[in-house]
Amino acid sequence: MAPQFKRIVIVLLLFIVSTYADDPPFPHIKDFMVEFYQTEVQVTNEEQQATAFATEYFDSTQGRGSMNLLIMGLRQSVYYYNETNEILEVNATNCQTWDIDESIYYYQSTFYGWLNKDPLVIGPSAALWFAENYKDKIEYNGQTKVRDIKVDKYSLPVIDDRDNVTMYYYFAVKEWTTPYKYENLRVPIRIEAKGVSSKDTASKDQWLVINQITDFAYFSPTISNWLAFQPPVGTGCPLRKSTKSMPEMPKIFRYSAEVFDVVKAKDTEINDIEYQQVWYDSVNKLGRHDKYTRMMFTSELYDFNTGVTYSVANFQTCTIKPLRKSMFEGHEGKLVGHLKEPGEVLKLDGSFYYMGERYIRGIKVDSFESIQKDVVFMDKTLVKLVITVYFTQEFMEIAVNGEEESKIPVYYAVKGWDTPTNVAINLQYNIFEFDDVIYPDMYTTFRLGRCFPSMQDKAYIIMIIDALPKLGALMEKQDDFVIEELRNQIVKHAKISNMRIPLLRADYKSSGVFVTGLILDRPPALKQFWFETEGEVTEDAFNLKPVADADTKEKCAYACVGESDFICKGFYFCNEACFLKSKDLLDPSDNDEKKGALGRTCQTYIRAEIDSNNYEAYLKDALKNLEDAVTNQTVKIILPIDKDSTEDVYVQDIIIGDGPYTGGNNQEKPYDIVINFSKLKKSETTLELHEVDTLNDCYKACKTSDAISCSSFSYCPRSDNKQCVISSLLVVDKVKNAGDTVDDANCYVYSLKYLDFYDPYPGRTVLISGEDVQSNINSTEMCAKICRDETKFACRGFEYCRTARTCVLHSKHILDLKPGETAATSKKSTCVHYAARFSADYYDMGFSLLDDDSDKRTELTLEDCARICSEELKSTCKSFNYCPASNIGTDSSCSLSSKMLTDKSVTTTSMADKNCHHYEKKSAVDDWAKADKKLVTSGYTKSGFAGLVVGMLALGLLVGIVAFLLYSYYRSRSAGDGLSVRFTKQENS
């Protein structure tokens, strides 16, 4: 019996040893041989009878992880990064940042065992890493089944002063098939925690029952979505650390954007995507913002130099107003604004942190985010504003205007809460065409000339460069450079901003280079002030400075901007008395201020921009400055000839003129304002009229006077008797006519524009002697008047020499001269020839057109039409209808007629919407056609029109400038102030 018992014991021992020897080892997570994984779990708290769902991601290569949890109807997320030593807890509206180094000891996970501190793992897999440190305490409990899956069960007791819990681990057996091809991967199926713990209580003696089941539904050694390691966009995480600096915005840039308003889209059935274009120039202190929607177009140009906004809606009339509420303007708690820095334009001036890599429109980008609290944005007070911006990476290049750019913004998002839970602003911007070059597109597409409808506020110029064909060809190859350098020269010498030069184009001809430009006046000083209120004002005298000679609001505004002793924030205008204010209305008042009343009827004006100035010259001063610079040979460009050499190219001459007059609505008038706040002095050359209702009535009195050969007139619209004074004296300006005028704040002095009857021929001079030469002539306009008023012979043209101040009159038209009777002028010449115009001999009768299309011709300019009537059909033609090209694909038309509006039985029609006008020949027309010689028309033919239009654009003589601009509109298929005009080489027929 004893031997039998011994054998049984030995067999039993061998069985037990054999059994333990075959126990499968615990599948430690470090042995999985994977660098990253993701898993989905369902966790149940049996005590509370609550279930939650979680998705976990872990990346050991970068020491980061995340977990998304759905519990009790709420979504929560946790993100952690060893690189920055921080934990982010994010819910639907907020993000909290934990510092790993300091706060990890106080940080508690949502469920028991879901936190492992070394390495840091937060989520259901943390329990697997926890077991890694207790290999000797883990026991194998045999095989069982979980969810009908055969598993190996292990137990790990966790016993310390705050825990008495046993962890049970269930791993799939080796034979179980996983969805992925990892033979040695034994995936976790379930983890149970049972016992008591006081970790989440205030006292060690306060124990909570732990009865928790975590079922792993999917455990994969792959990452399906790498964005899972990044928190959601738009929530914002205060105090989050950054691992990469955001690229800086350039000082000059432009971009286009598609803007979608997510909040508005929820309230309307039709969701508009707003298209925007933005230009920004911190160097010249300018900005522009265009918006296009299905219903509306707005374009605003902001000049921080003069503190005004030029605003156009639906391509209609432009308005000028004080600069306020621009995306480029900052306030910092003040009423007076200032130009934002480049990064502030897109609100990139906050503390941005790096979010990570993403893909936008297929472009790999770096994303950055900032959060600002308690801010005002888009006129809304927000408790939180989150800005997210996406920049292309350094190696990613995008072609913009033929150049490759990197580190540029391609997407931009704005999200703002007006309460802790309500999103009030949610804008998405798709950004395209970001570039650091904005000229000349910023000006040419705006058509700033619309904001100055009167020729009192603008002037055309032509600058002449006497360049040989070889040099001209080299300049033409560098046209963009030439124009930009000339623009800079005009800005420098005329003392104006870039904004005031909406047109600058060069015509490269064999006889030289002709640069045509349009210069605008500066806005009135009062335009950069907001009218705040009117009434009685009580103010501290120490905050005010009276200006004795500022008896108008315009003068007071000018004085405020030009104040040098302090920064003027605004002014009070009280009964024609001016008081400059040094304090902003929002600035707090001192307790010891001694205040007194300024007056009963004070008007309060607030300055729009703190950095606006009076550096901008008024138009007449700007033109005089530029003309002097040309005369003194200081206007030049340094032209690159090759890699090693340059050449100084000077502007030899400049012609200054005016724009068109057609007689229609909103058209310029055939007179110039020459002196502001002044009137003609009574003398033998003047005639005084009273109760003249309008300025045009005063002009008509001058033009039709039988008593005086009127050249100038003054009109006082605000005087009691509406005085109109006409004079035979041609008034030029206040300096040259100081003895002919007297100051009057209610009046203005005007002169007729005789130069409108002539075309300039720059670079050409007549070699035959003139019929008359007059000296000491102060202006081209005066020479034109002498020619026009000449009675001894028919004056067909003249030459005016600015330096010598001489005026040479000719009886022959320059187009009638034979070869050898004209010559090109030298570089040093300041003489320019002017020839009489055909269209000057026709009255503009307005929009009433004759119903006569018996001789209708197309693709002609107004001057062409007038020439044909005066020359080719001289014996029969008495009038014509002219319609300019109105849009792309619509040609101009000229209908010639032997009839006049006063003839019997004529019928009329109107085409005012197409700007068609009727013109009738004056009773005495200059006869330019010669019986013995056919007129040479190389300057007037359709193919050779450019030879004549140079001067026409420069001076805007009568309607010639309109004809030229409309002809150019047809040729270039673009509208607006001649902005798209490009001269062509002259062709001789």
Separation CA 277–CA 607 (nearest Å): 28
Nearest to 584 by CA among 336, 330, 338, 329: 336
Answer yes or no: is pLDDT of 437 > 60.
yes
Contact 867, 945 (CB under 8 A): no
The Cα-based distances of 651 to 514, 617, 878 in angstroms read 10, 21, 43
252-397+404-435 CATH pick, 3.30.1360, 2.50.20, 1.10.150, 3.10.50: 2.50.20
Q: Mean pLDDT throughout 60-68?
A: 93
Nearest to 158 by CA among 148, 168, 150: 168
The Cα-based distances of 743 to 552, 641, 746 in angstroms read 14, 53, 9
pLDDT at 204: 79
3-state SS, one letter per residue, for 909-976: EECHHHCCEEEEECCCCCCCCECCECCCCCCCCCCCCHHHHHHHHHHCCCCHHHHHHHHHHHHHCCCC
Q: Mean pLDDT throughout 785-795?
A: 85
Alpha helix positions (H), 76-203: 100-103, 126-132
Domain boundaries of the chain, sorted by first residue? 36-229, 252-397+404-435, 452-522+619-657, 671-753, 756-836, 841-925
Q: Mean pLDDT throughout 955-972?
A: 35
pLDDT level of residue 229 (50, 70, 90 thresholds)? very high
Answer yes or no: is pLDDT of 772 > 50.
yes
Q: What are residue 832's DSSP bridge partners?
A: 800
CATH class of 452-522+619-657: alpha beta
756-836 CATH pick, 3.40.630.30, 3.30.70.260, 3.50.4.10, 3.90.76.10: 3.50.4.10
Is 971 exposed, middle or buried (CB count within 10 Å of its CB: 0-12, 13-18, 19+)?
Answer: middle
Answer yes or no: is pLDDT of 824 > 80.
no
Supply the mean pLDDT for the chain: 80
What percentage of the chain carries pLDDT values higher than 70? Answer: 82
pLDDT level of residue 593 (50, 70, 90 thresholds)? low
pLDDT at 821: 80
Tokens encoding 754 = 């005789």
pLDDT level of residue 167 (50, 70, 90 thresholds)? very high
Out of 186-195, 273-282, 635-644, 745-754, pick the least confident: 745-754
Topology at the third CATH level for domain 841-925 = Hepatocyte Growth Factor (3.50.4)
3-state SS, one letter per residue, for 840-903: HHEEECCCEEECCCCEEEECCCHHHHHHHHHHHCCCCCCEEEEECCCCCCCCCEEEEECCCCCC
Contact 499, 301 (CB under 8 A): yes
Do 841-925 and 756-836 have the same topology in CATH?
yes
Separation CA 441–CA 254 (nearest Å): 10
Answer yes or no: is pLDDT of 58 > 90.
yes
What own/partner pairs with CB < 8 Å and gap ≥ 24 does 640-648 have?
640/478, 640/481, 641/474, 647/471
CATH class of 36-229: mainly beta
pLDDT level of residue 670 (50, 70, 90 thresholds)? low
Alpha helix positions (H), 530-689: 553-562, 619-631
Cβ neighbours of residue 845 under 8 Å, at least 6 residues apart?
879, 901, 917, 918, 919, 920
pLDDT at 21: 52
Q: Give me the residue label for tokens 């009273």.
A: 690
Superfamily (CATH) of domain 671-753: Hepatocyte Growth Factor (3.50.4.10)
Nearest to 96 by CA among 119, 80, 112: 80
Name residue 424's amino acid.
A
- C-alpha 85: how far from its chain's center? 42
pLDDT level of residue 659 (50, 70, 90 thresholds)? very low
Answer yes or no: is pLDDT of 816 > 80.
no
Greatest mean pLDDT among 334-348, 469-483, 599-613? 469-483
Q: What are residue 312's DSSP bridge partners?
A: 299, 318
